[in-house]
Amino acid sequence: MNFKVIVTTLNTLIVASLFAQSQIIKIENKNGQNLSYSSESGVKILKNKGFSFKDLNKNGKLDKYEDWRLTIDERAKDLASKLSVEEIAGLMLYSRHQSIPAAPRGFFAATYNGKSFQDSGAKPEDLSDQQKEFLTKDNLRHVLITTVQSPEIAAKWNNNIQAFCEKLGKGIPANNSSDPRHGTIVNMEYNAGAGGRISMWPSSLGMAATFDPELVRQFGNIAATEYRALGITTALSPQVDIATEPRWMRFSGTFGEDPQLSAAMAEAYCDGFQTSTGKDEIKDGWGYKSVNAMVKHWPGGGSGEGGRDAHYGLGKFAVYPANQFEQHMIPFLQGAFKLKGMTKMASAVMPYYTISWNQDPVYHENVGNSYSKYIIHDLLRTKYHYDGVVCTDWGITGDKTMIDNFVGGKPHGVENLTIAQRHYKILMAGVDQFGGNNDAGPILEAYKMGVKDLGEIAMRTRMEESAVRLLRNIFRVGLFENPYLDIERTKAIVGAPDLMKAGFEAQLKSIVLLKNKSNVLPLKPASTIYIPKKTFPASRNFLGEFSPEKVDYPVNISIVKKYFNVTDDPGKADAAIVFITNPTAGGLGYDSTDIKQNKGNGYMPISLQYGEYKATEAREKSIAGGDPLEPSANRSYKDKKVKATNLQDLYSIYDTYAKMNGKPVIVSVSMDNPMVFNEFERLVDGLLINFRVQDQAVLDILSGKAQPSALLPSQMPANMNEVERQAEDAPRDMKCHVDSEGHAYDFGYGMNWSGVIMDNRMKK
């Protein structure tokens, strides 16, 4: 980017450049913070003792919140005191998911001048009608970004939204955020000299399998660098729930089931994301490389009864049959809230949707965690002294219309309250922000309720308390001074070759070798390999998007051919490799046809095996239950049957074993949840698992180009009866599968080419 020098003074250098569609003026303060602002925003520059400051509220004087020499708290408190109730309500909003550009229909739909993006003539980096509305009418400043067309478009959109916000009110910039976006495209080839759209890493579960917090710290640092280049200043991560329930659909987003491992990974992740150093640091470790970490989900959501998930009414209860509630808080208290770096703690936290069943000894409420005064005020705020931002999970205040549908509200336990009453209850519990809510109206209604109950001074004080917390996180990352991006720098940073290399190396370190009978692995380079094709069943994702059935290789066969000779004739093969995914049986743990056809309660088992499973060991009566949309408070699924939708994976192993006629069979599992291995393990010679890595990483291990080093981050159950008998809230309480070589697939188990790994990682 070529800058034209306009003015120089003793302490400042002013330069201008064309970012996106508006001129951005950049000012370099010698021995101070650099500034940037839009020429169209109406912002003027104020001078004080030779330094430059942005007159964000355009009143012609230097207010405390505009003075970058003051502390973050001084600035945040000053600005909060100046905001109207309507402006504070806007800060308390966190937008629904935004796609750049917007989709024409569906969950991410929006319009441009009343038309779809395709029909509007708009540029992909333009703000949508809905974005302009919630920024102006509702004063919203926290925006959740999902899909982006490219890093370049993301950077241009960032500059457009920052210029738009700078024109409004007190000039509060947009705090853009993202859910995790560093997952892999599994069939993409990795080339050490080439870049990509963003660096690709294993899932959180894969990072846990490395048992290496320093690798996670490195990831946090790299991911934050890429996030800031995209204009993202808050990460809706890490997810540190201990995954004590192996059937949970969000298992792969965790660091496994062990609280101490999760705590170590949580600390490293948050520290890596939040810490700036050197010239990028502004103060106390915060700065222009920092990304706020919103750790989730307080106080832990990994113990849903029967493995069901609280995105749905059918999974709203977290249960604690082993009385292990406090274990679930360890990753927060000993990890995310106790950082080694100068930022000290994760700057934000998100409670989960769940009702922590019968865990409130003070008010005896069974309500969603964000509604619970005991969970938020008494524990998080008072006992554990957390003074960062608390933001609800997405969409918890809306009305629920279906018990088994993701789209809709999740007012667990407070279905009888109005939407405004739900907002008021959340505020009074000590929460600062409402995830997935673009509308300030209910917050303003809640404010009026508070004025009536407490008086205007007390309610205004309560609102300012949240405003200060929310503003701190925007000040810390330098957005008030310098929110704009250099487009060319963004293109150079995001997905740079060295960052891609770091991600690929992490993928290699995350692959777990479970079995290597007769040292069948690594395979010789000249080997001829048979890989059976796979049937991918028709499916719908959690947003309802449909994928049709197809038959294809389960791996990028052109990449395989760079490692081995490939044949479709098992008789000509030296060995076979069967690529599968872990069993998916039972879905959400609910089937409405059970009510219609069998006069049942709708609840079904979730299974971790491929073949048909009958839940003979399930509870006769569920621990928790009760919802206005269900016919019975007993959610038991005892004696009901399910089988995996990907049962074909098991049949593929059987078929391949028969066709290979005694020659080696190797199975590679892409894993999101623990699974039962006793259906096929004794038929195979080599067995390894990965957690959402590129095909090439698996092939590097199989070929011996890299050596496996990862360990299991969770137990692998001996059978489904063990799964039923384990307590949803207790870590490491299952009898594990023991393979034909006598190895138990327990937490911390893994192999390398020399045998079972025995090192200091488990001791740590």
- Whether the CB-CB separation of 33 and 481 falls below 8 Å is answered with yes
Give the pLDDT band of residue 291 (cuts 50, 70, 90): very high
Give the pLDDT band of residue 17 (cuts 50, 70, 90): very low
- Which residue is it, tokens 């743990």? 589
- Give the C-alpha distances (Å, rounded to integers) separating 617 from 330, 564, 620, 621, 744: 30, 46, 9, 12, 23
| Residue 11 pLDDT > 60 | no
pLDDT computed for residue 576 by the predictor: 98
First-to-last CA distance in the chain? 47
pLDDT computed for residue 683 by the predictor: 98
- Whether the CB-CB separation of 564 and 530 falls below 8 Å is answered with no
Task: Please tell me the least confidently modeled range out of 200-204, 308-312, 403-407, 440-444.
Answer: 403-407
The residues facing 112 across adjacent strands are 115
- Which residue is it, tokens 């579960």? 205
Q: Give me the half-sphere count of Cα atoms (radius 13 Å) on the Cβ side of residue 381.
A: 20
pLDDT computed for residue 542 by the predictor: 55
- Whether the CB-CB separation of 375 and 306 falls below 8 Å is answered with no
Element (H, E) at 272: helix 259-274
Burial class (CB within 10 angstroms; exposed 0-12, middle 13-18, buried 19+) of 598: exposed
Identify residue 140 by its one-letter amino acid code. L
| Residue 62 pLDDT > 70 | yes
Q: What phi and psi, each to the nearest 5 degrees, are found at residue 239? A: -90, 110
| Residue 234 pLDDT > 70 | yes
- Whether the CB-CB separation of 34 and 57 falls below 8 Å is answered with no
Task: Name which of 257, 50, 57 is nearest 172 in CA terms.
Answer: 57
Percent of the chain with pLDDT over 90: 89
CA dihedral sign of residues 107, 109, 238, 541: positive
- Spatial distance between the Cα atoms of 157 and 361, rounded to a whole number of angstroms: 48
Chain centroid to Cα 71, Å, comes to: 31
DSSP structure class, residue 737: P
- Spatial distance between the Cα atoms of 419 and 409, rounded to a whole number of angstroms: 10
Q: Which two tokens stand for residue 170?
A: 């007190």
- Percent of the chain that is helix, strand, coil (3-state, to 5): 30, 20, 50
- Which residue is it, tokens 């450049």? 17
- Spatial distance between the Cα atoms of 177 and 231, rounded to a whole number of angstroms: 8
DSSP structure class, residue 760: T
pLDDT computed for residue 544 by the predictor: 63
- Spatial distance between the Cα atoms of 700 and 698, rounded to a whole number of angstroms: 5
Give the pLDDT band of residue 224 (cuts 50, 70, 90): very high
DSSP structure class, residue 251: G
pLDDT computed for residue 330 by the predictor: 98
- Whether the CB-CB separation of 650 and 644 falls below 8 Å is answered with yes
Q: What phi and psi, each to the nearest 5 degrees, are found at residue 684? A: -115, 155
pLDDT computed for residue 356 by the predictor: 98
Query: pTM score, two decimals?
Result: 0.95
pLDDT computed for residue 301 by the predictor: 96
Task: Name which of 609, 603, 640 is nearest 622 in CA terms.
Answer: 603
pLDDT computed for residue 406 by the predictor: 84
- Which residue is it, tokens 């509220």? 57
Tens digit of pLDDT for each residue in 352-387? 999 999 999 999 999 999 999 999 999 999 999 999
| Residue 560 pLDDT > 90 | yes
Q: What phi and psi, each to the nearest 5 degrees, are found at residue 13? A: -130, 125
Percent of the chain with pLDDT over 70: 96
Give the pLDDT band of residue 191 (cuts 50, 70, 90): confident
Please, what's the b/e burial string for 122-134 (b: 16 or more CB within 10 A of its CB; e: otherwise)? bebbbbbbbbeeb
Q: Which two tokens stand for residue 374?
A: 């005991």
- Spatial distance between the Cα atoms of 52 and 67, rounded to a whole number of angstroms: 9
Q: Which two tokens stand for residue 695?
A: 């095909």
Strand 550-552 with 534-536, pairing: antiparallel
Length of the chain: 764
The residues facing 667 across adjacent strands are 578, 687
Strand 528-530 with 565-567, pairing: parallel
pLDDT computed for residue 524 by the predictor: 95
- Give the C-alpha distances (Å, rounded to integers) separating 222 from 91, 336, 411, 493: 28, 18, 37, 10
Within 10 A of 399 (CB to CB), how many other CB atoms are there?
Answer: 12
Q: Give me the half-sphere count of Cα atoms (radius 13 Å) on the Cβ side of residue 94.
A: 28
Tens digit of pLDDT for each residue in 265-281? 999 999 999 999 999 99
Within 10 A of 48 (CB to CB), how many other CB atoms are there?
Answer: 11
- Whether the CB-CB separation of 295 and 384 falls below 8 Å is answered with no
Q: What is the rounded average pLDDT of the residues 313-331?
A: 98
CA dihedral sign of residues 707, 581, 243, 339: positive
Give the CA diameter of the chain: 85
- Spatial distance between the Cα atoms of 748 and 713, rounded to a whole number of angstroms: 6
Task: Name which of 352, 371, 355 is nearest 427 in CA terms.
Answer: 371
| Residue 564 pLDDT > 60 | yes
- Spatial distance between the Cα atoms of 493 and 500, rounded to a whole number of angstroms: 11
Tens digit of pLDDT for each residue in 164-174? 999 999 999 99
pLDDT computed for residue 674 by the predictor: 98
- Spatial distance between the Cα atoms of 624 and 630, rounded to a whole number of angstroms: 13
- Whether the CB-CB separation of 371 and 363 falls below 8 Å is answered with no
Tens digit of pLDDT for each residue in 89-143? 999 999 999 999 998 888 789 999 999 999 999 999 999 999 999 999 999 999 9
The crossing angle, in degrees rounded to 10, of helices 497-509 and 695-702 is: 50
- Spatial distance between the Cα atoms of 699 and 705, rounded to a whole number of angstroms: 8
Identify residue 483 by its one-letter amino acid code. P
- Give the C-alpha distances (Å, rounded to integers) separating 108 from 96, 130, 232, 676: 9, 11, 19, 37
Identify residue 625 by its one-letter amino acid code. G
- Spatial distance between the Cα atoms of 432 and 417, rounded to a whole number of angstroms: 19
Tens digit of pLDDT for each residue in 649-703? 999 999 999 999 999 999 999 999 999 999 999 999 999 999 999 999 999 999 9
DSSP structure class, residue 77: H
- Spatial distance between the Cα atoms of 103 and 366, rounded to a whole number of angstroms: 38
Chain centroid to Cα 607, Å, comes to: 24
| Residue 21 pLDDT > 50 | no
DSSP structure class, residue 374: I
